[in-house]
Amino acid sequence: MRLARWLIPVVLVGVSGPTPPTQLDVPRPTLETAAPIRVHDGTARFRVPPIADGPLVLVVSTLGTTRDTYPVSLRISKTSRRAPLAPNSPLLTIQRYRRNPKPTATHNSLVVPVASTTTLLVGRPRTFDVPLLNGRPVAGGGSSRVLAHPIATGSRSIVYLDEATQPQSRMRQLASAIVHLLETTIMPSGDRLIGPPADIDHDGRLTVLLTPRLAHLQNGKTTVGGFVRAADFRPGFSRPRSNQADMIYLNTHLRVNDDLVDVLSHEYRHVLAFSHRDALGRETEEDWLNEALAHLAEPGNTNISHRVAAYLNRPSQFPLVVPDYYRAGLWRCDGVRGSSFLFLEWCRQQHGEQLVSRLLASPKTGTPNLVSATRTPFPQLFRQWAVSLLYGHDNAISNWSPAACRWDGTRPLTIQVATTATTYVMPDNIPAGDVILVEAPGDSRLQVTAAITRPTGSPLRRNISVVP
C-alpha cells in the first residue's frame, strides 16, 4: 500500500506537466485558392493574414446532425503572437460556381400543332384519390376521391380533368399543351437520361390529372402547381393511399406559359425518380436530394429563382441535408429548396450530366448516394461548394452572392448556424496578425475556411449586416 501511494504523485506529475503552447494556423488564401483552417474539438485558432488582393471572408459551416442549430462564436483571442505556428494546410482550389442563366422557353415552343394531340370529347372516366396533406389519415379525411374524364391524349400520355372543373377551351388548350410538352421535349429528354417511366397501371401512357384540389391543400393554407406521390408507384399499396398509377397531379390554375414548362419538367423528374426506386421496391430518395434533382430538370427560372434568393439572403438558417421536409416542418420552405438546388447544380457542374443519371439509378439514398456518385467525401463537397458561392456571381450582379456579416472584432460575435449550413463573416479592419478564435460545440463538425472575394473596394453585397 505504501509503495502504491508513493508512486501516485510521481505519475500525476508526469501526466500534468507543462501544457504545450497552442499552435496557430496562418491561412494564406488567394483569388484562386481558399485556405481550410484546422478545427480541434470544435475550436479553430488562426492569425489574420495580410491580404492585398481583396477582402477576407470566413466561410464557417456546421455539418453535425445531433441538433437543428449550433451556436458559433467568434472573438479576438489573447493568445500570444509568439505562439507556435501550425504547418500550413493544403490550399483548396476554388471550383467556381458557373451561374449560367437558364434559357426560358419561348411562347412559340408552347404553340401546339393541331395534329400533335387528340382532344377527347367522350372517354371512359376514372376515379382518383387526391391527397390533401391535412394531417389526417388518407382513409380518414386525408384524401378526396374525384371523378375525372379524359380531355387530351397522345401516344405516351393522357390528361384527365376533374369533373369539378368544366372542360372549357382554356382547359382543352392546357391539356393539349401538357401532352405536347411531355411527348416532344420532356419525355424524350428523360429517355436519354435514364429511360422511360414505369407503367404502373399497364395502360401504356403516363397519366396527368388536372384538378382544382391542389389549390386547397393543408386545409386551404397551401396551393401548389403540381406534385407526384411516391405511393402511387410503390407496389402493394391500396386505395386511397395509392392510385397504383404512374401519374402527375397538376393544378387547373396553371396557364400555358413558362411556369407550365418548369412545373411539368420538375414533376416528370419525380416520375423518373419514383419509377427507378419506389416501383422497384427500393427506398424513396431523401427529400433534399429528391427535390434538388427535380429542380435541375427545370429549363427556366420561374420555379427556383425566389428560392435561391431566399437561401442567399440568410444562408446560415437553412439546412442542406433534410431527409424528410414534412416531418422537419420545412415542406415548401423556399430557403432549403434553394440551398439543395445550388448545391446539386454545383455538383453537376463539377461531375457532369451523368451525375444525375447515377443518382436516379442508384439504390442508395441521401449523402451515401451522393458520395458514391461523385466519389468524393461529403465534407469535402460541402466545403468546396460553400466557398464556390462567393465566386458564382457576375461583377455586374453584386446582389447574387450569399449575404455576409461584417465584424470588427471589438465584441464577440455569436451566430446560430443550422446543421449543414454556412455563415459568411467578413473581418472588418481587424489588423493582420491578430488571432481569431472560432468556437462551436464539439459535435457541430465545424468547418472554417478563409477566402478572398473581390478586389478591395468592390463589396460582396450591398445589404451586408454589420455586427460590432
Total length of the chain: 468
pTM for this structure?
A: 0.89
d(CA 239, CA 128): 9
What residue ranges in 225-356 does DSSP mark as E strands? 226-227, 247-251
Q: Please answer whether residues 293 and 304 qualify as being in contact, where contact means their C-beta atoms are separated by less than 8 angstroms.
A: no
Between the alpha carbon of residue 437 and those of residues 45, 47, 75, 191, 216, the distances in Å are 5, 9, 5, 52, 50
Q: Please answer whether residues 89 and 49 qualify as being in contact, where contact means their C-beta atoms are separated by less than 8 angstroms.
A: no
pLDDT digits 0-9 by tens, 425-460: 999 989 999 999 999 999 999 999 999 986 443 444
- Domain ranges in the chain are 29-100+390-467, 104-282
pLDDT digits 0-9 by tens, 205-247: 999 999 999 999 998 899 999 999 999 999 999 999 999 999 9
Fold topology of 29-100+390-467: Jelly Rolls (2.60.120)
Q: For the purposes of burial, counting CB atoms within 10 Å of the CB of 283, is it exposed (0-12), middle (13-18) or buried (19 or more)? A: exposed
Which cell numbers hold the place of 65? 446532425
The 10 Å Cβ neighbour count of residue 445 is 20
Region 257-284: what's the mean pLDDT?
97
User: Distance between terminal CA atoms of the chain?
Assistant: 60
Confidence of residue 317 (pLDDT cuts 50, 70, 90): very high
d(CA 84, CA 80): 9
Residue 247 bridge partners (DSSP): 207
Beta strands 226-227; 405-407: pairing state? unpaired
